[in-house]
Amino acid sequence: MCALRGILVKLIDIIPAGNTLGEGILWDAGRGSLWWTDIQQRKLHRRDLANGKTEMFRTPERLTSFGLIEGSCDLIAAFESGIAYYDPQSGSVDWQYRPKFDHPSIRFNDGRVDRQGRFWCGTMMERENERALGALFCLDDAGEPSVHLRGVSISNGICWGPDSKTFYFADSPKRTIFAFDFDADSTTLSNQRVFAQTPDGAYPDGANVDSQGCLWSAQWGAGRLARYTPDGREDMIIEVPASQPTCVAFGGTGLDLLFVTSARDGLKKDALIGQPHAGDLFVFKAPVAGLLDGSFIRKEKTG
């Protein structure tokens, strides 16, 4: 049963971050920590949930999304120009894939590790009204890339249903969240269909799926999170005290805390006066538990 209509979702904390473009929020259960990136400021943040301390790491390029690596302190990281193994402590970068883009406006954007240990990441067009030349990539454990979608404007909302049989993907300017049938063995996407269409002014950004199989979408421009049932029905709206929420993650020991990043990017002075928490990190008490993200399985090179 997925319906939660009428249930109050309480905002329990606002973590000051002041990010220009906070994104990529990720729960690290092994270290009891939250990771997120400020893309435009080239900063990676890690917050220890127990002691409330936040570390900041400078990144060599704009870091757009990332995932944990099984058995390692490194991250699998999508920087603006490519995908790499990245050690935040030392700053070392081991590039795995740096494609030659067809246009100077293209950069990497949203990404997530699937439950089989592969990293999926899409690209986007930074300039508005440019031809949609973005794509969706998958990087396997040997560092081999494959392309699964083309003709994308802004890749966002990458996540999977609890049984990994459904893949979700949003193209933000189209205000559309798509669903696909997903073959976890072959990584094949099929049966593309419209899962949900968002209202005018609400652009689907980062997303996640809870333990009941419902999708939570941060919706840029509308100051809200929307929860959708597996058949695409809007089940719940949660107001966020910033107009540009960007990404969502379930975390905490019970996976019942909902963490939401936000952005100040592009807001004019008057808008910022009315949104003092734009760019901060919001914590809600979730009415349902989430699911753990996958960890990238890295194949050690030999020879």
Helix (H, G, I), strand (E, B) or coil at 270: helix
At position 294, the amino acid (one-letter code) is G
User: For residues 290 and 225, what is the distance between their CA atoms, to the nearest angstrom?
Assistant: 15
Question: What pairing do the DSSP bridges indicate for beta strands 188-197 and 176-183?
Answer: antiparallel
Copy the structure tokens of residue 205. 């950004």
Give the C-alpha separation, 88 to 36, whole Å.
12
Beta strands 106-113 and 119-125: pairing type? antiparallel
Q: What whole-number distance in Å separates Cα of residue 222 and Cα of residue 239? A: 9
Distance between CA atoms of residues 20 and 70, nearest Å: 30
Active site residues: 205
Contact assessment for residue 70 and residue 298, using Cβ atoms and an 8 Å cutoff: yes
CA distance 121 to 77: 9
Beta bridge partners of 37: 23, 44
CA distance 186 to 280: 39
Beta-carbon contacts of 129 under 8 Å, excluding residues fewer than 6 positions away, are none
